[in-house]
Amino acid sequence: MTDLAPLRRALLSVSDKSGLVEFGKALADRGVELLSTGGTAKALRAAGLEVRDVADVTGFPEMMDGRVKTQRPVVHGGLLALRDNDDHVAAMEAHDIGAIDLVVVNLYPFEETVAKGAEYAEVIENIDIGGPAMIRSAAKNHGFVTVVVDVQDYDAVLAELEANDGQTSYALRQRLAQTAYARTAAYDTAVSTWMAAQVGETPRRRTFGGTLAQSLRYGENPHQQAAFYTDGSGGAGVATATQHQGKELSYNNINDTDAAFELVSAFDPADGPACAIIKHANPCGVARGATLKEAYSRAFDCDRTSAFGGIIALNQPLDAATAEEITGIFTEVVIAPGADQGAMDLFRQKKNLRLLTTDGLADPRAAGLAVRQVSGGYLVQDKDVGHIDLDDLKVVSKRQPSDQEMADLLFAWTVAKHVKSNAIIYVKDGATVGVGAGQMSRVDSTRIAARKAEDMAEAMGLPAPLTQGSVVASDAFFPFADGLITAAEAGATALIQPGGSMRDDEVIAAADEAGLAMVFTGMRHFRH
């Protein structure tokens, strides 16, 4: 094997035909023989290029609706043969196998087919067989063969042919081989993940794949390398959003923006505007309002200190009035399902403020997987899409919640799912007024949330904290009555919690003694 390998014969079979004709012309101009099939061959011939059908090489026509066309020894022998191995060369001569020096293949659009909600049979037909086989053969023999699976690598190949008189370097071929194996691995991951959902059983093996969206300067900390990958699932969110201004998102920006958008998407815009402000993946304010501006202002008033440098998510398109209000403090990112021109003009004056727009909101009930790496493996679980409605609630106290309390309880419960456990959320009139997150003791979360409300009351010149007359949500049951008593001392009048503790009777009795209304959900939302 030498460093430089000549490129005399290429096989092209692509689903994505972007740049195909230009690439094919550049190869043909260098005297490279073009082999192709199906729509790829048709596109190249339409551009006036001479193309030899793979069927002419194999001696077999395409058959079975294109399922069988390249799976022949004459193709794979041409890809796998070691050019410096006398036995391999002899076998090629004996069986009339011509060397193939370049394979250009991008695969059937399986991921896109799944994302659009296609029926089972259509998804199956979009599982590529011949493509991955050729990619793997070419990649294995990268000592001599160049393999291209991404349109963005066309220019790199042409540059090397220009620099090396029609040859490619080993370094390029090796890099492209790694890219090729990563592509087939991600493709097989998409297929196996989809199949696992169809079968409905815990699969023996799990893989995870993605496509590089952007390299990141660093991870959570400067000493950590990081990158952002997309999984091809589509859907509205940070992965598919359009960034209109500002520097690239950081690792923490992406993480927090995702948390913010997932939370605000739980509030149906048909029920009115909503805003979520996130800091370090925890909500520091969530609110509804008569207008988007009011929703933001009410969310901001929950914890003005933490909101500085935070992430803002909106459930309706950003308007100029809200944009002007947001620019009152430093904000890292704003994400919304659209923005009007006035808002965008205002934001352009804040060059460090990133604005992301999406085509809609995320589906809060869409199934998915949550993955966490641990030493030696991965923890995999269903994404928490648990949902309760008014009819699911069980009043366990003597006092019945009022209609307003019940509405606030459901609001608080919606937020609770997005707060790190142990989570305590105080809500009043459709806005959070205190959030306690991530404490080892639920009582401490309750106290912290109440203290934040006291601090904001002082800062805003209010006569009393807004926890007075509020409701409280707890992401898991109160194991003891002390957490409930602490909430009552802060002024809460009603509570929502999963129930299920051995001391439920004790907690219910404490609620009744304090005159509190309490409802059980029967569902918890630990977020570790």
- Over pLDDT 70: what percentage of the chain? 96
**What are the contacts of 158-163 at 24+ separation with CB within 8 A?**
158/23, 158/26, 161/7, 161/26, 161/30
| 127/68: higher pLDDT | 127
Predicted local confidence at residue 356, as pLDDT: 96
Catalytic residue among 17, 25, 88, 140: 140
Among the candidates 174, 199, 224, a domain finishes at: 199
pLDDT of residue 59: 55
Mean pLDDT of the 209-238 span: 90
Residues 30 and 96 in one domain: yes
Residues for the chain: how many in total?
528
- The mean pLDDT value for 441-466 works out to 90
Per-residue pLDDT at 288? 97
Residue 111 within a domain? yes
Given this model, what pLDDT does residue 116 score?
Answer: 83
90 band by pLDDT with thresholds 50, 70 and 90: confident
Residue pointed to by tokens 């041409």? 78
Does residue 124 form part of some domain?
yes
311 and 342 housed in the same domain: yes
Residue 400 has pLDDT above 80, yes or no: yes
Helix, strand, coil percentages for the chain (3-state, nearest 5): 40, 20, 40
**Considering only CA atoms, which of 173, 182, 130, 134 is closest in space to residue 5?**
173
Element (H, E) at 63: none
Task: Classify residue 148: in a domain, yes or no.
Answer: yes
Assess whether pLDDT exceeds 70 at residue 72: no
Average pLDDT over residues 98-119: 87
Q: Are residues 159 and 240 in the same domain?
A: no
The residue among 410 and 85 whose pLDDT is bigger is: 410
What confidence category does residue 77 fall into, taking pLDDT thresholds of 50, 70 and 90? confident
- Asked if residue 350 and residue 226 are part of one domain, the reply reads yes
pLDDT at 521: 95
Task: Supply the CATH number for residue 250's domain.
Answer: 3.40.140.20
Residue 205 domain-assigned (yes or no): no
The pLDDT of residue 63: 56
Mean local confidence (pLDDT), 315-337 = 95
Longest dimension (CA), the chain: 95
What is the domain count for the chain? 3
Phi, psi for residue 434 in degrees, rounded to 5: -170, 130
Please report which helix (H) or strand (E) contains residue 495, including its range: strand 494-497
Do the Cβ atoms of 211 and 232 come closer than 8 Å? yes
Calculate what percentage of the chain has a pLDDT beyond 90: 60
Is residue 368 included in any domain, yes or no?
A: no
- Quick check: 67 pLDDT over 60? no
| Distance (Å, whole) CA 133 – CA 79 | 11
Do residues 191 and 226 both lie within one domain?
no
Lowest mean pLDDT of 87-96, 354-363, 368-377, name the range: 87-96
Say which DSSP state 99 is in. P
CA 511 remoteness from chain centre? 41
The whole-number pLDDT of residue 58 equals 61
Residue where one domain finishes, among candidates 357, 381, 406:
357
| Selection from 266, 311, 264 nearest residue 292 by Cα | 264
Helix then strand count (H, E) for the chain reads 19, 23
370 lies in some domain: no
- The stretches of 95-199 forming alpha helices (DSSP H) are 110-115, 120-125, 130-140, 154-163, 170-199
Task: Report pLDDT for 206.
Answer: 87
- pLDDT given for residue 233 in this prediction: 79
pLDDT over threshold 90, residue 487: no
Asked whether residue 206 is assigned to any structural domain, the reply reads no
Strand 33-36 and strand 52-53: the pairing is: parallel
- One domain for residues 240 and 159: no
- Which among 215, 213, 220 has a CA at the least distance from the CA of 238? 213
User: Would you call the peptide bond into 315 cis, given omega within 30 degrees of 0 as the criterion?
Assistant: no
Q: What single-letter DSSP state applies at residue 390?
A: G
Question: Element (H or E) spanning 255, and its range?
Answer: helix 251-264
Look up residue 55 and give its amino acid.
A
**Is the domain of 224 the same as that of 178?**
no
What span, in angstroms and rounded, lies between the C-alpha atoms of 243 and 249? Answer: 9
Structure tokens belonging to residue 413? 């419960």
* φ/ψ (deg, to 5) at 278: -120, 140
- How many CB atoms are located within 10 Å of the residue 414 CB? 21
Same domain, 397 and 299: no
Reduced to 3 states, what is the DSSP secondary structure of residue 13? strand
Q: Which long-range contacts (CB under 8 A, 24 or more apart) does 226-233 make?
A: 226/251, 228/254, 232/111, 232/112, 232/115, 232/190, 233/111, 233/114, 233/115, 233/368
Q: What is the mean pLDDT of residues 354-358?
A: 96
Q: What's the whole-number average pLDDT of the chain? A: 90
Range 279-291 average pLDDT: 95
Q: What is the pLDDT of residue 482?
A: 86
Task: Output the pLDDT for position 117.
Answer: 85
- Angstrom CA distances, 248 to 58, 226, 252, 253, 355, stand at 49, 13, 11, 9, 11
pLDDT score of 70: 55
pLDDT at 330: 92
**How high is the pLDDT of residue 497?**
93
3-class secondary structure, 122 = helix
Do residues 32 and 89 touch, judged by C-beta distance below 8 A?
A: no
pLDDT bracket for residue 85 (50, 70, 90): confident
Residue 42, domain CATH: 3.40.50.1380
Work out the pLDDT band at 166, boundaries 50, 70, 90: very high
Report the relative pairing of strands 354-357 and 494-497 from DSSP bridges. unpaired
Scanning the structure block, which residue is given the tokens 């948390």? 259
Known catalytic residue: 398?
no
**For the whole model, what pTM was predicted?**
0.82
Q: Judge whether 123 lies within some domain.
A: yes
- Supply 242's token pair: 């359009």
401 and 263 in one domain? no
Letter for the amino acid at 214?
Q
Interval 188-198 mean pLDDT = 89
CA gap 517, 472 in Å, rounded: 10
16-60 residue pLDDT tens: 899 999 999 999 999 999 988 888 888 999 999 988 877 667 655
| 2-20 pLDDT per residue, tens | 689 899 999 999 988 999 9
- Residue 1: the pLDDT is 55
12 lies in the same domain as 153: yes
Cα-Cα-Cα-Cα dihedral of 498, 502, 505, 506, to 10°? Answer: -100
φ, ψ of residue 285 in degrees (nearest 5): 180, 130
- Indicate whether 188 and 43 sit together in one domain: yes
Q: Within 13 Å, how many C-alpha atoms sit on residue 166's CB side?
A: 13
Range of the domain at 132: 5-199
- List phi, psi (to 5°) of 418: -110, 10
Which residues, in sequence order, are bridge partners of residue 9?
33
| Annotated catalytic residue 279 | no
Instruction: Please give the Cα distance from 494 to 315 (Å, whole number).
Output: 27
Instruction: Give the pLDDT band (50/70/90) at residue 323.
Output: very high
Q: Which of 25, 280, 350, 398 is catalytic?
A: 280
398 and 335 inside one domain: no
At 62, the pLDDT band (50, 70, 90 cuts) reads low
Residue 201 confidence class, pLDDT cut points 50, 70, 90: confident
Tell me which residue of 95, 91, 188, 76 sits closest to 140, measured CA to CA: 76
